[in-house]
Amino acid sequence: MGQNAGILGTGHSYPEGILTNADLEKMVETSDEWITTRTGIKQRHKAADNEYTSQFGSRAALQAIERAGLKPEDIDVLVCATTTPDQILPSTGALIQAEIGAVNAAGMDVFAACSGFLYGLTMVESMIRTGQAKYVVVVGAEVLTKYVDYTDRGTCVIFGDGAGAAVLGPVEEGKGILATKIKSDGRYAEQLYSPGGGTRLGLTHESIDNRDCFFKMKGNELFKVAVRSMADISAEMLEKAGVSADEVDLVIPHQANQRITDAVAARLSVPEEKVFSNIAEHGNTSSASIPIAMDECIESGRIKEGSLVLLTAFGGGVTWGGTVIRF
């Protein structure tokens, strides 16, 4: 069966800059009431012009490593889930590896939008289980505010910046990741996408003028697919782990939209008090949302020794995933 993989330490970091709904009212045709009723968001963190993804990822990773009682050189693999890399080449994972001094690690990126952290978790779980790696850092880090179109009120009110990280390693039987699965369906690619800047359209004056490098989203259509996908994979993973929804102490969904979170919880018949939400303070931080939320829950005592936690995410691609963990 191999070695169970569990979370040994977590960390998070985000910019000091904050963009409130009142700030957005001055930038685009919207209102606090419109944003709050549709998304649940009150504010989001916003990176300064001279701040970038790997800075936040590095801080979160170092905090997680320290809390796990390890040193950077103990890390075998560092996976960075991001949709907003520092640059095309090299990977942000390699840049974080260098920044924190994880000299023995293989640094790499995972590109799965808001599901990226669970993609990373699922990949490294099997590496730890088979003995390919002992200690692994999975980082979710984003500076999304540099990719939002502040003339598009449907998307610019949603996204925020930040990073979260978790150190995984061997844990005793009955603990750690009990079940995990990731999925995608590229037929829904244009529900949430950014067409510019790649080899298809290139980085041309035309693509810049057309605002092709910004995020584009079909929110109403995405809502239905997101709720169904997250609820279905969550139920499947609970069954695989051999536990019921009643036994779960806490559900941490990707913080996409409060209405999506509420709908997923209702489909799983999980009471509101067992579902974590910090979207009002942070907005949607894509791959960073689950590790930030997890770290906040550990810091506040909502996750403690023995807690049974369900993580579930959905993002562009479209991608989705579900993970059941015993702490």
Domain boundary pick from 154, 173, 192: 173
* Overall average pLDDT of the 6-13 stretch: 98
> Taking 80 as the threshold, does the pLDDT of residue 76 lie above it?
yes
**Which domain, by its residues, includes 195?**
178-326
* Overall average pLDDT of the 231-243 stretch: 98
Q: Which of 80, 114, 156, 297 is catalytic?
A: 114
Q: Looking at residue 2, what is its pLDDT?
A: 84
213 carries an active-site annotation: no
- Judge contact between 120 and 63, C-beta under 8 A: no
Are 167 and 185 part of one and the same domain?
no
3-state helix, strand, coil in the chain (%, to 5): 40, 25, 35
> Taking 80 as the threshold, does the pLDDT of residue 71 lie above it?
yes
284 carries an active-site annotation: yes
Give the global pTM: 0.98
For residue 312, give the amino acid letter.
Answer: T
Are 44 and 163 part of one and the same domain?
yes
Q: From residue 278, how far is each of 56, 130, 254, 309 by CA, in Å?
A: 18, 35, 10, 16
Domain boundary pick from 124, 149, 173: 173
* Overall average pLDDT of the 236-256 stretch: 98
Are 39 and 55 part of one and the same domain?
yes
Looking up tokens 């995933």, which residue turns up?
321
Q: Looking at residue 182, what is its pLDDT?
A: 98
Are 151 and 184 part of one and the same domain?
no
Are 160 and 76 part of one and the same domain?
yes
- Judge contact between 193 and 39, C-beta under 8 A: no
For residue 104, give the amino acid letter.
Answer: N
- Considering the chain, what percentage of its residues have pLDDT values greater than 70? 100
Q: Which of 4, 21, 257, 284 is catalytic?
A: 284
Are 158 and 294 part of one and the same domain?
no
Are 31 and 114 part of one and the same domain?
yes
Cβ neighbours of residue 124 closer than 8 Å, sequence gap 6 or more: 5, 77, 79, 133, 136, 138, 168
Q: What is the mean pLDDT of the chain?
A: 97
- Considering the chain, what percentage of its residues have pLDDT values greater than 90? 98
Are 184 and 155 part of one and the same domain?
no
User: What DSSP state is assigned to residue 69?
Assistant: T
The SS3 assignment for 303 reads coil
Domain boundary pick from 110, 140, 173: 173
Q: Which of 12, 21, 156, 254 is catalytic?
A: 254
- Among candidate residues 56, 212, 205, the one with its CA nearest the CA of residue 139: 56
Are 187 and 236 part of one and the same domain?
yes
Q: Looking at residue 320, what is its pLDDT?
A: 98
> Taking 70 as the threshold, does the pLDDT of residue 1 lie above it?
no
pLDDT, tens digit (0-9, with 9 covering 90-100), for 141-184: 999 999 999 999 999 999 999 999 999 999 999 999 999 999 99
pLDDT, tens digit (0-9, with 9 covering 90-100), for 85-138: 999 999 999 999 999 999 999 999 999 999 999 999 999 999 999 999 999 999
Higher pLDDT, 71 or 202: 71
Residue 103 token pair: 């000299």
* Overall average pLDDT of the 273-279 stretch: 98
* Overall average pLDDT of the 225-238 stretch: 98
Q: From residue 293, how far is each of 56, 107, 255, 326 by CA, in Å?
A: 15, 24, 9, 16
Q: Looking at residue 104, what is its pLDDT?
A: 98
User: What DSSP state is assigned to residue 104?
Assistant: T
Are 26 and 138 part of one and the same domain?
yes
pLDDT, tens digit (0-9, with 9 covering 90-100), for 34-69: 999 999 999 999 999 999 999 999 999 999 999 999
CATH number at residue 240: 3.40.47.10
Are 93 and 206 part of one and the same domain?
no
Are 132 and 280 part of one and the same domain?
no
Q: In the chain, how many domains are there? A: 2
Q: Looking at residue 220, what is its pLDDT?
A: 84
Task: Give dist(CA 215, CA 212) in Å, integer.
Answer: 8
254 carries an active-site annotation: yes
